[in-house]
Structure 1
């Protein structure tokens, strides 16, 4: 130091000693945010309330000591029967915690911070309470129901991307999208992902993507952050827009431990923005493997189909050859040859048999027709001819007499039959004449009919001024009834 001028380091050192002397050990209550657990094992986070924020660091050595002191409450001194859950497990964004330690200054950044030695839950913060309240309300409305969620298309070709164009999430997503799948068109719908304007812009982008009806799926992205950084995705308007989206929505918001209402409402939740790309598009090697497997299956199916078709072709060729005219002609020629051969054999056999019979007959003839036998037969023939000449006139005379008798009997029977038929015919003609309804007309009677053609049998069937028809032997008369006078004996009849 020269002339009262302090260097930055010297001033920072004075402030550090002053703060550490003024606040050697202090309890601070606030809401945890910006929680970070790097590989070094140290834990970095902020404690905040409505008006201020305090940076905190919990070194790994102090964490081991805190793990050993969980059998008692360091604030009240109360001893417990068994160790309580470790603060390391309970510490997360949005919780209201009690932290104890000393105030110091971190020189490289020139900011004061709390070197945490003890951590104890103090209840959830306001944002966490609001989150739980909205979560409960939306769950009751069915926003998170699994049965309403749709499957995201596999390897989509048209994707609507809603995120900030300047964020790291879009670069991670696009980098993976370039190396996966079979190529896709990605249309960006820019929207803020943090701040007061974020929720309305996200809702507007969701509605626009649905209205264009171009994409197959909507992807909602945002990198990691604290509960308040991600609060736009916990707004009910965003959850409602996702719920009413006609297109499936994939949410890749924050890190795996970050869960928002948008994640729970979306059809598919990705742990990170990069994971969203992994869920949508398979690796190129997997696609190539599937392509190879499909090509092999296609070749096998083609070989099987070709073998089946060759078999069918062979069967049809055989059937065609069997039923072809040429084949039919060949079969007929073969059959004709067989029949000709059989016929020649049968003819030879028949000729052989006939030749044997003829030889036998010839031998019999030669043995029977000797000169003495011929003379005896000639004598017998002469006797038979003489007997026939003597008997033939008598036989013819008897036959002529029998014929004459038969003719006379037939003529008498015919006359008797005709007389019987004539008498029967005359009897039928007399009966027919007796039953002729028109015969009485020649004796002065008449047949009277009504105008409708019915036979008039009673005066009760007509009435004055009605028309009637009178049938006589030589014609018809049409008359009108002027009066009806029934007999007393027939007065009981009714008109029809």
Structure 2
């Protein structure tokens, strides 16, 4: 009966055979999937056009200068010296590296840089031609692979952010030779439909060769001529493809693409609260200014109103009457005093008949003087009556009691004095003795009878 191996036994046998046949080998290849965990070990893959080989460079074997270790990067062409072995937990063979020699950039990286330089010279990456994303887009076309983590993360964030949006998914391959053609066709379909506000192209992370479909020149041209803004979120933050450089906006990851399209809802709520506070503040300030303006206009009207003007005129007239009365009384006292003195002097020098004659003349003069005083008061009373009549005529509401009306233009705010003050279609405010009447101008005539 043949020997039956356990998995462990077979793996150890293969390991022993492999290590015995290839104790120390030199291998040339291009670095990809480079990882530097906190342990200090360096993990990467060596590859050429037809095969790949896992490699590990343990920290204890990194005796070369730090400059060699630190410059090791994806796309770099290297020659590694090491031992072949089998990593039992995965049942996979790998190269345990002991020395690395730099051989320059890999073919994919060189091709990437050449295409990047050529498209840059044609203006594909010019920031001036790139369009901003619309604010809070409601219709999104997503080009990606169905069932991938990139689509799940994007849809989850789209459901949690913004005001909500409609999303059309254009399923495509995102890796391999057929991927560029499918992505180009999806871009063309989205532009022909014209439904979307933004086209989003997303894919999860991967090596340079995994993302190579997005370094296709025809795909770059399709992104360049798209009439709808294109947002890309391809790979991780460190990954940059030609499609990223050509797109209107590049996101670091698929999740970041959703974050660029829509803000968090709590940010929207905060924005609404801030706008409400600003609106309330502005309303209070506007009300304060209007109240101050109204108070000033009330004070001005109180000084300019006909009633106040009449009251001030009456006060001035009363003051003049008091001054006139005091002046008349003073003059009478002076005249009486002078008369008494003159009478006394004349009595001593003249006889009774002389004084009787003089007394008669004096009585006549006194009578004339009193008559003149009464006439002066009558004249003043007449002037006061005329002033009251004039002030009453200045009252704008007086004509309203006789059936007249005030007409005010709603457009200018002025009272209408001439047909040329208004236009056809103007709103008028007609004010009779009480209430008001709203009217609209249908026709104007410059002169009566026209």
Q: Is the aligned partner of 1:226 residue 2:221?
A: no
In structure 1, the residue matched to 2:53 is: 54
CA contact 2:24–2:82 (8 Å) conserved in 1: yes
**Is 1:159 matched up with 2:158?**
no
Question: Which residue is equivalent to 1:9?
Answer: 8
Contact 2:303-2:309 within 8 A present in 1 as well = no
Judging changes above 3 Å, is the alpha-carbon distance between structure 1 residues 6 and 355 closer, same or farther for their aligned structure 2 residues?
closer
Q: Is the contact made by 1:106 and 1:113 (CA closer than 8 Å) also made in structure 2? A: yes
Q: Is the 8 A contact 1:90 1:121 kept in 2?
A: no
Of residues 363-372 and 335-344 in structure 1, the stretch that sits farther from structure 2 once superposed is 363-372
The answer to whether 1:110 aligns with 2:105 is: no
* 2:30 alignment partner in structure 1: 31
Distance 2:45 2:233 in 1: 25
Uncovered stretches (5+) of structure 1, i.e. residues with no partner: 71-82, 375-496
* SS of the residue 1:232 aligns to: helix
User: Does 2:81 match 1:86?
Assistant: no
Q: Deviations over 1:403-446 (max 9, x none)?
A: xxxxxxxxxxxxxxxxxxxxxxxxxxxxxxxxxxxxxxxxxxxx
Kindly state the Cα deviation for residue 321 of structure 1 after the two structures are TM-superposed.
3.6
Query: Which residue number in structure 2 is paired with residue 69 of structure 1?
Result: 64
Q: Which moved more, 1:144-153 or 1:160-169?
A: 144-153
| Pairing partner for 2:274 from 271, 277, 293 | 293
Q: Aligned match of 1:253 in 234, 239, 257? A: 234
The equivalent of 1:271 in structure 2 is 252
Provide the secondary structure at the position in 1 that maps to 2:170: strand
Query: How far did 1:338 drift?
Result: 3.5
State the distance in 2 between where 1:158 and 1:311 align.
49
Residues 286, 61 of structure 1: CA spacing in aligned structure 2 closer, same or farther, 3 A cutoff? farther
1: CA distance, partners of 2:189 / 2:233:
19
Q: Is the CA contact (8 Å cut-off) linking 2:29 and 2:47 kept in structure 1? A: yes
8 Å CA contact retained: 1:224, 1:254: yes
Q: Is the 8 A contact 2:174 2:213 kept in 1?
A: yes
SS at match of 1:86: helix
CA–CA distance in structure 2, aligned partners of residues 210 and 337 of structure 1 = 86
Structure 2: gaps (5+ residues): 356-450
Alignment partner, residue 162 of structure 2:
181
Q: CA deviation at 1:39?
A: 4.9
Shift in CA distance, 108/371, structure 1 to aligned 2, threshold 3 Å: closer
- TM superposition shift of 1:41: 4.2
Higher mean C-alpha displacement, 219-228 vs 49-58 = 49-58
State how far apart, in whole Å, the 2-side matches of 1:110 and 1:211 are.
Answer: 50
Segment of structure 1 superposing worse, 232-241 or 42-51: 42-51
Partner of 1:439: none
Deviation of 1:196 after TM superposition, in Å, equals 2.0
Deviations for 1:331-379, whole angstroms, at most 9, x for unmatched residues? 41343144124214303422542564477468768949868979xxxxx
**Residue of structure 2 equivalent to 1:191:** 172
Distance in 1 between residues matched to 2:107 and 2:326, nearest whole Å: 126
Counterpart of 2:412 in structure 1 is: none
Question: Pairwise CA RMSD of aligned residues?
Answer: 2.8
Equivalent residues of 1:35, 1:44 under 8 A apart: yes
Alignment partner of 1:120 is 2:101:
yes
The CA distance in 1 between the partners of 2:93 and 2:277, in whole Å, is 67
**CA distance in 2: counterparts of 1:299 and 1:186, whole angstroms:** 37
Larger radius of gyration: 1
Q: Could you tell me which of 286, 292, 308 is aligned with 1:311?
A: 292
TM-score by length of 1: 0.64
Q: Report whether the alignment pairs 1:353 with 2:366.
A: no
Equivalent-residue separation in structure 1 for 2:302 and 2:15 (angstroms): 109
Instruction: Provide Cα deviations, 1:125-156, integer angstroms capped at 9, x if missing partner.
Output: 22222111111111111112223223334443
What's the TM-score, normalizing by structure 2?
A: 0.70
Residue 309 to residue 242, structure 1, CA distance change in 2 (3 Å): same
Aligned-pair distance for 1:22? 0.4
Structure 1 residue 336 corresponds to structure 2 residue 324? no
The 1-side partners of 2:93 and 2:330 are apart by 142
Instruction: Sort the Cα spacing of 1:347 and 1:18 in 2 relative to 1 into closer, same or farther, 3 A.
Output: same
Matches within 5 A, 1:367-382: 367=346
